[in-house]
Amino acid sequence: MRGRSQNGSSATVYRWDLDKTYLRTEFDTMGDLVRTAFETPQSKRTVPGAAALLRELQRTEPRAICILSGSPEQMRRVLESKLRHDGVRWDEFVLKPSLENLLRGRFRFLRDQLGYKLGVLLRSRRTVGGETSEILFGDDAESDAFIYSFYADICRGAVDRSTFDQILDVARVYPDDAAALREAFEAIPTHDAVHQVFIHLDRVSSADAFAVFGARVCPIYNYFQTSVVLAELGAIDAAAALRVGAE
């Protein structure tokens, strides 16, 4: 996979999670959640190398840089300010409508990752072009490896409707969300789009635990490792990888 096509235009979408992938975030306890909600842009800490890597990816003029976060929509101003401070630009930035769902009594939505993230991924996929490739970034704190792998299999046509419905049932996705997901599933263009999934081992999980997902999922401990793999894929050059390592 090359980061750029032969005519010089980019053919790759980079999709990034934020918490524990780009930002050092703690949300294991209620106290952690409260502290995170009131942090200023200046107090938020970037995972070493993450900002440098995103800036290097920007230099390649990709098809798009898309940020998909489980943080609530109310944190948009702070998060956007932090990203701008880091010199990061984006084309799409989706935050979770947690308060809207809480007010509707949809308490499960606050913990739901599969229904929320998969819905965003499928809807976004329809807008980027059928032949566009994707590289995804997540972490080991939640279910990113599974969600991204499921999404990748859907894109390449390896998931039938029955299996899709079973996964939504197991995840206890709300009926109206499930209906929207089924509509997006039926409309997704078939293409083996997802070339690589990087999982930042924030919890220092064993890399072996991700072998079940196959070679597409690459667990990493730092972003220099990521940049080396991206250089091997042709997404960035060796000099860019060294700049990430030097941050």
Q: Domain tally for the chain?
A: 1
Indicate whether 78 belongs to any domain: yes
The pLDDT value recorded for residue 180 is 96
The pLDDT value recorded for residue 39 is 62
With CA atoms as reference, report the closest residue to 200 among 183, 220, 227. 220
With CA atoms as reference, report the closest residue to 197 among 143, 116, 244. 143
Indicate whether 2 belongs to any domain: no
Indicate whether 8 belongs to any domain: no
Domain residues for the domain of 165 are 14-246
Indicate whether 1 belongs to any domain: no
Helices (H), the chain: 30-37, 50-59, 76-85, 98-103, 114-128, 144-155, 161-170, 175-187, 223-233, 238-246
pTM, entire model: 0.89
Indicate whether 4 belongs to any domain: no
Evaluate whether 57 touches 243 at the Cβ level (below 8 Å).
Answer: no
Phi, psi of 2 (to 5 degrees): -105, 145
Indicate whether 106 belongs to any domain: yes
Indicate whether 84 belongs to any domain: yes
Please, is 169 exposed, middle or buried when counting C-beta atoms within 10 Å of its C-beta (0-12, 13-18, 19+)?
exposed
Q: How many CB atoms lie within 10 A of CB 209?
A: 13
Phi, psi of 92 (to 5 degrees): -145, 135
Evaluate whether 143 touches 210 at the Cβ level (below 8 Å).
Answer: no
With CA atoms as reference, report the closest residue to 117 among 158, 27, 46, 177. 177
> Mean pLDDT in each 10-residue stretch from start to end of the chain (247 residues)?
43 94 69 52 83 97 95 92 96 90 78 90 90 95 93 98 97 94 95 97 84 96 97 96 94
Indicate whether 5 belongs to any domain: no
The pLDDT value recorded for residue 3 is 44
Please, is 165 exposed, middle or buried when counting C-beta atoms within 10 Å of its C-beta (0-12, 13-18, 19+)?
middle
Beta strand 23-24 pairing with 45-46: antiparallel
Evaluate whether 85 touches 109 at the Cβ level (below 8 Å).
Answer: no
The pLDDT value recorded for residue 30 is 44
Taking the CA atoms of residue 52, residue 57, residue 59 and residue 60 in that order, the dihedral angle to the nearest 10 degrees is 160
The pLDDT value recorded for residue 36 is 52
